[in-house]
Amino acid sequence: MKALVQLHSGFTDKPEPFKLETMAPYVALEEIAVPEPGDDQVVVKVAAASVNPSDVMFIKGMYGQPRREGVPAGFEGVGEVVGGKAAGEGLVGKRVAFTGTGSGTWAEYAITDASVCIPLMEGIRDEDGAALIVNPMTAIAMFGIVKDEGQKSFVMTAGASQLCKLIIGLAAQEGYRPIVTVRRDEQIEPLKALGAVHALNEKAADFHARMAEILREEKPRIFLDAVTGDLAATIFHAMGGGARWIIYGRLDESLPVIKEPGHMIFLGKRIEGFWLVRWMREAGEEGRIAAVMEVQKQFLTGNWSTDISARLSLEEAMEGLPGALAVPNGKVFIVP
């Protein structure tokens, strides 16, 4: 089979830019044997694989899991189960969304555990299925943090990302008040139409003054941050008592400063992180199933829909993926 195969093992020694500038140092298009499933595993014929920021960090050796040389990259995909062992046998013939636990999704075939396959309902598009886990599950999990905190308003950086749009969709349904930052003026109105109560361009001259004013009025406590750097540090500094800065991405490579450690002491503010892998572990079987049901419901009712910015074959991805990822407002798919 053809696959985009990892060229390195483990983690990198020297951090690199987070943006993908070229594929060649990290993966190669190779012809390899279709991997064999182990017990309770399945082989999936991949119909589409999504490309997430975590994939880029992973192939560069800067993600929370080690690389494996010679194994296809790609965390997430959709496809038909064409073979399985033990618990996997019952899934043969089913169309499933999955994460490639045994071998990655940027390939014609992938291996995964039967337990992480999500059989898809009929009305779900392949592209929604291929982007059904990382972003949607993260959206459900992080919006759950907002709901548990009990404050209707909350803050998000990178508001125009697919993930933030999903969270805004959930929030609007339940009367929550997202305050989001964007990098382009033209992203403001679409996000407000989706349900953001405030959408501010982080490059505007009066950005920090307006944000501080909104924070004083809305008193959000949860700050879901994909950026870090000085933008996030300044927003967190302007937030009030009990604020929780929850870092789940690092679009800015500069290191954030804690601008007032006294706020941690006297105002009970906290800095934490979110990682879906840890959330899945802690949520347990029951929590995961509830989230999966919720995700499919959101796509079937049309409240959620994945914006598609490009579809690339494995061959096209080697040259074209960096350019495709640079286009804002949509998701890129690899279609083997």
Task: Provide the binding-site residues for a second copy, judged by CB under 8 A.
Answer: 62-64, 228, 247-250, 255-259, 261-275, 278
Question: 313 is written with which tokens?
Answer: 């074959």
Give min distance, CB of 274 to a second copy, in A. 7
Helix axes 162-173, 134-149, angle to 10 degrees: 40
Burial 169-195 (b: 16+ CB within 10 A, else e): bbbbeeebbbbbbbbeeebbeebeebb
User: Toward a second copy, which CB reaches closer, 161 or 296?
Assistant: 161
Question: 265 is written with which tokens?
Answer: 């002491």
User: Toward a second copy, which CB reaches closer, 266 or 323?
Assistant: 266
Give min distance, CB of 157 to a second copy, in A. 12
Question: 334 is written with which tokens?
Answer: 């690899």
| Of residues 199, 201, 158, 154, the one with CA closest to residue 174 | 154
Give min distance, CB of 252 to a second copy, in A. 9
User: Toward a second copy, which CB reaches closer, 263 or 288?
Assistant: 263
Q: How far is CA 45 from CA 34, 39, 41, 100, 188, in A?
A: 10, 18, 13, 12, 39
Q: How far is CA 9 from CA 74, 200, 225, in A?
A: 15, 41, 29
Give min distance, CB of 255 to a second copy, in A. 5
User: Toward a second copy, which CB reaches closer, 25 or 66?
Assistant: 66
Strand 331-334 relative to strand 41-51, pairing: antiparallel
Give min distance, CB of 127 to a second copy, in A. 26
